[in-house]
Amino acid sequence: MADLGSSLTVALAAHERAADHFWSFMADRSVRFLPQGCAPMFFSTVCRMVVGQGDRAGRRAGLAVLGRMYRRFGLYPYHGTVVAAAVVDTVRRFAGASWEPELAGCWERGCRRVLRVAERAATVMGDGPHVTVGEVVACDAAADGVAVLTVRPMRRLRFLPGQAMPVCTPRLPGLWRWYSPANAPRRDGTVEFHVRAVGEGVVSPVLVERVALGEELWLGPAVDVGLSLEAAGEADVLLAAGGTGLAPLRALVEQVAASPVKRRVTLVVGARTLLDLYDAVALDELAQAHRDWLTVELAFSDDGDVEPAAQGDLLTVALYHYRRGQAFYVCGSPKLIEAARVRLPAAGIPADSLHLATTFLRAMDSVPWVSRQRSSRVASPSGVDMTAGGIDRRGSA
């Protein structure tokens, strides 16, 4: 049986040269819709989608990227013929001994199928933020297995606090994961991502342990993941962050700080033990800077040495601090989101006040890039530490 994966692995070992050949193949046939600088991103993502590599959330992230590129670069269905031919020719050229004649038909059919899906995704997504490249300008070890990456994009990113965007390292071309900026838009355009290395993960350990200053990251279009502050109106808010789920909720705190709407915010940050808590300095600075309206509380699920008031799982501690009328936001691992989906309504939290981060693990999360989500309180994003700063919306990041 033809092995698409083996041929792709060999071809992507030289993905920049392969992408140049892919682009030149189309340019020689007067098909120049794709800027040459975007060829590595487009080629590797199409190929990964054809083979079906990556977890479910990661494949949806890749599809969001392809959908936006399809629309922004003005692809049409008739481009599928030359794109498929370019993919086949490129993989054949770079796959070496792993190439088998019967692979040509498999690659061509798979490429056409992916492009048809990308066309539908482009229609659903509509216009919006483009894809771009960013440079890692800071890389800090925030805790054991957690890194804070600060990225300066080539062009200013268009995003709102609480949104998530596909992120990819060229070290693993075409493997995308959802991460949320941990900040509101800044004057200097930089964005901060919180990444936790997942034991069984493919991408997150590379981002935490290997990506260094000066390296590039590919950045896809930002999408709503159920954490929009607009959904709360002018109500006070309670933010419950598990692990790197702190990232998008910290961005919401910055949004409140810059907003003319005055509201009180309670931020409850959960960790297993005190040693697992990261970003403590930034949390303390936030609390001190906005003490008139911001309260930061900690919850430790497995640390008997902390103050009794801080002992307990995140949802239990958050419910203790909940006050009627608050909008209740939760972001963290898929397990946390599923627990919140059951426990919080049972505890009396009104459905229209509950906003859960998308995990992409449920049927209703199947179209994560749709900004007009049916219900932001249940449709939200890691595989990304959805904590999406991390959104542990990954499972296998």
CATH of residue 310? 3.40.50.80
Domain final position from 125, 140, 159: 125
275 and 203 in a common domain: no
Contacting residues for 332 by C-beta, under 8 A, at least 6 apart:
240, 241, 242, 243, 245, 270, 314, 357, 386, 387, 392
Nearest CA among 156, 201, 161, 262 for reference residue 54: 201
Nearest CA among 119, 120, 149 for reference residue 135: 149
Residue 15 lies in a domain: yes
Which amino acid would we find at residue 367?
A: V
SS3 56: helix
Residue 139 lies in a domain: yes
Specify whether the CB–CB gap between 257 and 186 falls below 8 A. Answer: no
181 and 48 in a common domain: no
Domain with residue 38: its CATH number is 1.10.490.10
327 and 276 in a common domain: yes
Domain final position from 219, 237, 259: 219
269 and 210 in a common domain: no
387 and 350 in a common domain: yes
Q: Is the pTM value of this prediction over 0.85? A: yes
29 and 144 in a common domain: no
Residue 224 lies in a domain: no
CA 376 – CA 196 distance, rounded (Å) = 25
Q: How far is CA 72 from CA 86, 93, 221, in A?
A: 20, 29, 11
243 and 149 in a common domain: no
351 and 234 in a common domain: yes
172 and 233 in a common domain: no
What does the DSSP 8-state code read for residue 223?
A: B
120 and 136 in a common domain: no
140 and 243 in a common domain: no
Domain final position from 190, 219, 248: 219
Domain with residue 143: its CATH number is 2.40.30.10
Output the tens digit of pLDDT for each of the chain's 397 residues. Answer: 457 888 899 889 999 999 999 999 999 988 888 899 999 999 999 999 999 877 888 999 999 999 999 998 988 888 999 999 999 999 999 998 889 999 999 999 999 999 999 999 999 888 888 899 999 999 999 999 999 999 999 999 999 999 999 999 999 999 999 999 999 999 999 999 999 999 889 999 999 999 999 999 999 999 999 999 999 999 999 999 999 999 999 999 999 999 998 899 999 999 999 989 998 999 999 999 999 999 999 999 998 888 888 999 999 999 999 999 999 999 999 999 999 999 999 999 999 999 999 886 543 344 443 333 333 332 333 223 333 344 434 344 6
- Count of domains observed in the chain: 3
The helix (run of H) or strand (run of E) holding residue 167 is: strand 165-168
- Cβ atoms within 10 Å of 85's Cβ, excluding its own: 18
Domain enclosing residue 206, as ranges: 132-219
Phi, psi of 167 (to 5 degrees): -130, 140
382 and 363 in a common domain: yes
